[in-house]
Structure 1
Amino acid sequence: MIEVIKPGPYATVQDLGRPGYAHLGVPHSGAADAAALRLANRLVGNPEGHAGIELTFGGARLAFPAGAWISVTGAPCPLTAPPRAGAGMGAPFWVPAGGELRFGAPVRGLRTYVAVRGGIAVEPVLGSRSTDSLSGLGPAVLRAGTILPVGPVDGLAEISVDVAPLREQGAAVLRVVPGPRDDWFVPGALKELCGRPYQVSQDSNRVGVRLSGPVLERARQGELPSEGMVAGAVQVPPSGQPIIFLADHPPTGGYPVIAVLSAAALSIAAQLRPGATARFTLHTPRP
């Protein structure tokens, strides 16, 4: 098991979400940066869908009453671990019984993922162990004193990956395709979206990344009837300031979607911290 000594600013249990319930109004949820969680699980021999811990802006302290293989991915954090643990980002390491793992603030990015061999074995809800900040489904947000059970390791793959490369640092460029309602905007709105950078608002969370920058003007007035939404949808409310939907986005929405992020860009968006800047680049699929 793992004991949460200190959760940091915001920490939750996440797996790859609970798909298939949008018709019931249940969000998909899951890790905001799914690629980082998948990698963390592979590093310790878990199936990619096992549950891990998602830390927002580091700052956590985790205790391990029993020894465990651990991996840490996503936003790179300074790690303090027991001597000779060999702790570091992007590589599996052993925390001995009674050991404690401490996380500093990430040097870049926002969300860090901690996988333990065997996975976090809290009780699933609708087939997922993810905490959903919008609907309240799943385990509670982690607090000091939370005890997290760890699943069995029998039958898991051997740990054979030594080092995984960290993502290169650089300006955030988000690749998008035209959205289903791009015709609700004036000609040139997509060009405007991709023409200048946007800044990430302090109001961003696991539901969506709120952006501040060039205003996207509409050609049509009024609002749409609610329609299905996907993670990565760039929705534009009447303010003209876009919002990128993340893992805990609602299943439906009534604002027009001007563009949709690629899967790779969605992971980049999940790591954008308040005050960061990002640019969009348009990819037009071949007919």
Structure 2
Amino acid sequence: MIEVLAPGPYATVQDLGRPGYAHLGVPRSGAADTAGLRLANRLVGNPEGSAGLELTFGGARLRFSAGAWVAVTGAPCPLASSFEGGALGMRAPFWLPPGADLRIGLPAWGLRTYVAVRGGIDVEPVLGSRSTDSLSGLGPAPLRAGTTLPVGGTRSLPPICADHAPAPPLPPPVLRVLPGPRDDWFAPDALDVLCARPYEVSQDSNRVGLRLRGGALKWARQGELPSEGVVTGAVQVPPSGQPIVFLADHPPTGGYPVIGVVAAADLPIAAQARPGDSLSFRLVNR
């Protein structure tokens, strides 16, 4: 069992989401930085899709009532424990004895940090996923002080065979974007404007999407576009002309035109962007 002594600014349980329900109006949700969660799970011998904790801007303190193997990935934070003599580090499995506290500081860069425990967070699944969905409210509530989280069994898991994952370089603030499907709704130079200068990440950003400030993307058509399906990474543009990059908790449909879609490989970069950061787009072919 894990007791949350302090959750930090915003912390949730996340796995790889609940795909297959968009036709029912249910977002996929799941970890915003899937690469970070997958790595954390591999380091402790879990299946990659096991549920872990997603911390927004660190600042969490967790107590482990039973001994546990733990790994922390994503935005790099200082780690400390009440257990004397234990070596703690990012991107490496470490042992916490019964009753130990884990303290996670503020990230040096990036926004979201992932904590995996061997056995996975074993809260009750909803529609096949243990993810907290901030848009629909499905899944467990965001963590708060006093929340307790069960941990799954470990007997069926393979031995831990990874000792350390190399530190990733600071990701370049560039998102590759594929044009369309509604780029014909915009002025002929709109894609050039999108890629010409960096955009600033707004304070209004969250797990639903990155709201950006910068060069306005002008519509070439009047009227309204009927709501249609959208995917993670879609760059939707409301009448203000300021783009929004959809993240894990985006709605299954949208009514504003989508000028482009961020390449899937670059979604972790978007997920780690903080308010005030600069992001640029680079147009690529399919």
Instruction: State the TM-score, normalized to the length of structure 1.
Output: 0.98
Which is further off, 165-174 or 175-184? 165-174
Please give the residue correspondences for 1:243-254 in structure 2 after superposition, counting only pairs within 5 Å. Answer: 243-254=244-255
Of residues 260-269 and 167-176 in structure 1, the stretch that sits farther from structure 2 once superposed is 167-176
Q: Deviations over 1:148-203 (max 9, x none)?
A: 00001011121111111222115411111112001111112111111100000000
Q: Does 1:160 align with 2:176?
A: no
Partner of 2:17: 17
Q: Distance in 2 between matches of 1:271 and 1:284?
A: 25
Post-superposition offset of 1:282: 1.0
| Gaps in structure 1 of 5+ consecutive residues | none
Mapping of residues 75-224 of structure 1, within 5 Å? 75-81=75-81, 82-224=83-225
The 1-side partners of 2:166 and 2:264 are apart by: 19
Q: Which residue of 1 aligns with 2:55?
A: 55
* Superposed CA offset, 1:121-172 (max 9, x none): 0000000000000000000110100000000101112111111122211541
Distance in structure 1 (CA, Å) of the matches to 2:94 and 2:279:
33
AA partner of residue 129 (structure 1):
R
Query: Partner amino acid for 2:42?
Result: R
Q: What is the RMSD computed on CA atoms of the aligned residues?
A: 0.8
The DSSP-based 3-state class of the residue aligned with 1:238 is coil
CA distance in 1, matches of 2:12, 2:262: 24
The 1:170/1:125 distance shift into structure 2, 3 A limit, reads closer
| Structure 1 position 36 matched with structure 2 position 46 | no
1:96–1:133 Cα change, 3 Å: same
Q: Distance in 2 between matches of 1:108 and 1:181?
A: 34
Query: What is the correspondence of 1:223-262 to structure 2 with a 5 Å cutoff?
Result: 223-262=224-263
Q: What is the rounded CA distance, in whole Å, between the counterparts of 2:67 and 2:214 in structure 1?
A: 48
What percent of counterpart residues are identical? 73
Post-superposition Cα deviations, 1:25-49, rounded to whole Å, max 9, x if no partner, equal: 0000000001100010000000000
Report the Cα distance in structure 2 between the residues aligned to 1:150 and 1:225, rounded to whole angstroms.
Answer: 44
Q: How many residues align?
A: 285
SS of 2:66's equivalent in the other structure is: coil
Where does residue 265 of structure 1 map in the other structure?
266
Q: Distance in 2 between matches of 1:124 and 1:157?
A: 23
Give me the whole-angstrom Cα distance separating, in 1, the residues matched to 2:41 and 2:273: 22
CA contact (8 A) 2:171 2:269 kept: no
- Cα-to-partner distance string for 1:34-75 (whole Å, 9 max, x where unaligned): 110001000000000000000000000000011100000000
Q: CA deviation at 1:113?
A: 0.2
For residue 72 of structure 1, what is the aligned residue in structure 2? Answer: 72
**2:46 is matched by which residue type in structure 1?**
N
Q: Structure 2 unaligned runs (5+)?
A: none
Distance 1:284 1:105 in 2: 38
Equivalent residue letter for 2:99 = G
SS in structure 1 of the partner of residue 212 of structure 2: strand
Distance 2:140 2:69 in 1: 23
> Letter of the aligned partner of 1:52 in structure 2?
G
- Cα-to-partner distance string for 1:106-129 (whole Å, 9 max, x where unaligned): 010000000000000000000000
Amino acid at match of 2:93: P
Q: 2:2 is matched with which residue?
A: 2
* Distance (Å, rounded) in 2 between the aligned partners of 1:160 and 1:182: 47
